[in-house]
Structure formats: structure tokens, C-alpha cells
Copies of this chain bind each other. A is one copy, B any other.
Amino acid sequence: MKLVVAIIKPFKLEEVKEALSEIGIEGMTVTEVKGFGRQKGHTEIYRGSEYTVDFLPKVKIEIAVPDDVVSKAAEAIVKSAKTGKIGDGKVFVIPLEEAVRIRTDEAGDAAL
């Protein structure tokens, strides 16, 4: 099992969710995060002083998947989250040693 972690632009969440649905992924966990990267934040003004907002709002999606679904999932995310503009985000894949469904105590792929 792997944990596929994607950092995407917030307004792409809906599309990514649908793309994952289409390949049969029904579960995921989403977090509001702030991203810092090549994409520079904008300059804002407050009462006459300029300041740079470095951290841009992003959404992090975490999806635990069986090994054989990893690349399909990553692909689906990349395709649906892409705008081609800087700041589109990343997909990370992290090894997952165990997964348990709290409700049923099922473990392994069955828990996902």
C-alpha cells in the first residue's frame, strides 16, 4: 500500500475528486495548507505598507491505495489538477506499512 499525497490548487479539488472517482477511488482525506514554492505570492498592501504574501492557499489530498493503483491514481491527479501555470503543485508517494478500518478492524488493502 502507498499513501499518495497531492498538493493542488484549491479550485481544482472538485475536478481531482471526480477524476479519482472515475478510477474507482472512493476515499480520501483533505487538508487546507499553505504552499511555498516557485510560484511567488503577491504583494499586498495594508494601511500603506507593502508586504509579500509568501504562502499561497493549497489543498493537500491524502489517498491510501493498493500498490497497483498508485500510478493510475497519480496520473489521474496530475491530469485533472494541471493548469500548466506555475504553482500547480506536487504528487508524492509514501510507503504505507499498514492500514486499518476502525469500524470493522479490517486491515491491509481491504481497509482502504
Task: Give per-residue flags for A36-78: 1 if the beta carbon is below 8 A from chain B beta carbons, else 0.
Answer: 1110000000000000001100101000100000100010011
- A101 to B7, alpha carbons, bound, how many Å? 10
A64 touches B92 (CB 8 A): yes
The answer to whether A91 touches B81 (Cβ under 8 A) is: no
**Chain A interface extent, by class:** 35 or more
Point out the residue from B55, B84, B91, B103 that lies within 8 Å of A99, measured CB to CB: B91
- How far, in Å, is A112 (CB) from chain B's closest CB? 8
Query: Which of A6, A29, A87, A101 has the most chain B CB within a 10 Å cutoff?
Result: A29
**Cα of A94 to Cα of B98 in the assembled complex, Å:** 7
Chain B residues lying within 8 Å of A58, measured Cβ to Cβ, are 29
Q: Are B74's CB and A90's CB within 8 A?
A: no
**Chain A interface residues (CB < 8 Å from chain B):** 2-3, 6-8, 17, 26-38, 54-55, 58, 60, 64, 70, 74, 77-78, 81-103, 105, 111-112
Q: Which 8 residue pairs of A and B lie closest in terms of their CB atoms, listed nearest first?
A: A93-B98, A88-B103, A88-B102, A27-B37, A91-B100, A93-B97, A30-B34, A31-B33
